[in-house]
Amino acid sequence: MNKADTKPDYKRMYEIARSLFDKTHHFRHGPFDETYYTLRVYESAKEIIKKLNEKCNKEEILTAAILHDTGKTKINTKKLFGKKGFLKNANKEWHRHENLSVPIARKILKRLGHSDEFIKEVCYLIENHSMRGEKIKQKSIELQILQDADLISDCGFAGFIRPFLYCGKFSHQSVLDSIRFIRDEENRVEMSGMINLEISKRIAEERMKLQNKLVNMISKDLDSDLI
């Protein structure tokens, strides 16, 4: 491993990733603000690594956390979004972003002087970060951490505010619609096969306590005699 591999310039990577998202229409603000979400995944990965206290390649994980969703800058957003939000058949186009992120990450890491082996491992994590459950039988600890960080980053206050950002972006959804959505949304933390590590589950549960408290408070508005 060379110096770039052992001491990655995470800040520079994030600046490059952010500049890519800033050039897009959908992924630089609002509910799909990947500049913010990337930061959340990075910080969540750091928290898991610290609390897990298990040997892993931290540099590969954190690098992948920063670059894992850059492929969203290349997907066809006309196949994703209409005036009223997500289109019915958007899922297929959405999940092209994992593979599309790989060549972007490879180019960035080459430019920053990383070794071919480091780039290969990071790209493996990026390509498979959405492959949860039984889709991959044997997962490295690095992949488990990245997947968990990607999931729990949307728990807590981030999961609470995103529906309101969504209603601000798409006019068909009101604030009351957003309250109903977060009140009735299935808790992904409790869904089978979603979280890999027990420490990740504990972190997510703590975040969900805050989210549920906020949801319970604001849901009282739905009991108004005006509705």
AA letter at 62: L
Residue 45 lies in a domain: yes
Note the pLDDT of residue 127. Answer: 96
Contacts of 123 (CB under 8 A, 6+ apart): 102, 105, 106
Residue segments in the chain with a per-residue pLDDT below the cut of 70: none
Residue 101 lies in a domain: yes
The predicted structure's pLDDT at residue 185: 85
Q: How many domains does the chain have?
A: 1
Give strand pairing partners of 81: 86
pLDDT of res. 136: 75
Residue 48 in any domain: the answer is yes
pLDDT of residue 137: 74
**Which CATH number belongs to the domain containing residue 117 in this structure?**
1.10.3210.10
The secondary structure element, H or E, covering residue 81 is strand 81-82
What is the number of residues in the chain?
227
Q: Looking at the domain assignment, is residue 173 inside a domain? A: no
Q: Is residue 175 part of a domain?
A: no
Query: Is residue 72 assigned to a domain?
Result: yes
Question: Could you tell me the residue range of the domain that residue 99 belongs to?
Answer: 3-152
Residue 108 in any domain: the answer is yes
- Within a domain: 59: yes
Q: Output the pTM of the full model.
A: 0.92
pLDDT at site 64: 98
